[in-house]
Amino acid sequence: MSIEIKELISLAKASKKYKVSESELLFKSLHLALNLYYLSSKDKREALVPCINGTLHHASVGDFIHQYKPLLDQIEYVDVQIAQPLRLNERAIKELLVSRQFNEAELYRELAPETDDVDFWKTEREVHDWEEDLPEYDIIKLEQIQVCELELEKCLSVKGVPSKNASKDPSSTALKVIGLLMHHLSKSPKYASGGAPNKSQIKELLMELAVELDVNNYGLSKVDERLLKQASDYLETQKN
């Protein structure tokens, strides 16, 4: 499901119109109940580099360097058009909550292809950050963030949503159920990767089931990756 510009309103306007704080809207997005967007201010091609985690090197007192291996032979290119709605990732939302701004690079990371073979993505400029005279990324402010008004209305009108003081057990239980189903699917080689559930294949299965059952697949193309990872991580904490 693509989002059109006319469907978006600013976070500030949404907050005033629907009498809900901007912080609450950010938290709803962080909990996967709502998507937030930034309208690209330019036409742009960005190079994304898949990376493998390394050790945290203790360089000096209080100074640690994150070591990683960039797979420069597997660079992916993403093209962005001016006024294209770009969805915010989890990191961007957290930075908005903490400092009301985030680095433009987070917008491009969200466009990286899904794969279980890498730990994270960096832009090519970030990988070469030791070089001088590289153009800097813009800083995106909270005031520039947009939300789909129809999606927001659906989010706020959902019945049975727990109150702020309600138990969080249902959401934890849901994560546990999803995690168990993922591990059941991983018994098949098709849905396994290195002994763990293959999130990319499980995502494709969900998309196929949505088509088969004629269910709107909105939310299954990207957000489910975070949800599947969250469920898998949560399940690890629940082992006896």
| Number of CB atoms found within 10 A of residue 108's CB | 23
Angstrom CA distances, 62 to 28, 32, 57, 132, stand at 35, 35, 11, 25
Helical packing angle, 169-185 and 223-237, nearest 10° = 100
Q: Ranked by mean pLDDT, which of 23-27, 183-187, 234-238 comes out on top?
A: 23-27
Which pLDDT tens digit goes with each residue over 90-129? 999 999 999 999 999 999 999 998 887 889 999 999 999 8
Q: Which structure tokens are listed for 95?
A: 């930075």
Q: Ranked by mean pLDDT, which of 8-22, 129-143, 216-230 comes out on top?
A: 8-22
Q: To the nearest whole number, what is the mean pLDDT of the chain?
A: 85
- Write down the pLDDT at residue 1: 52
- Write down the pLDDT at residue 182: 84
- Write down the pLDDT at residue 162: 43
Q: How confident is residue 221, by pLDDT bands cut at 50, 70 and 90?
A: low
- Spatial CB neighbours of 235, under 8 Å, sequence gap ≥ 6: 175, 176, 179, 180, 182, 183
Q: What is the DSSP letter of 86?
A: E
Which pLDDT tens digit goes with each residue over 206-220? 888 878 887 766 666
- Write down the pLDDT at residue 168: 40
Q: 16-20, 157-161, 174-178: which range is least confident on average? A: 157-161
- Write down the pLDDT at residue 169: 41
Does the pLDDT at position 199 exceed 90?
Answer: no
Q: Domain limits of the chain? A: 5-157, 169-232
Are residues 67 and 127 in contact, defined by beta-carbon separation less than 8 angstroms?
no
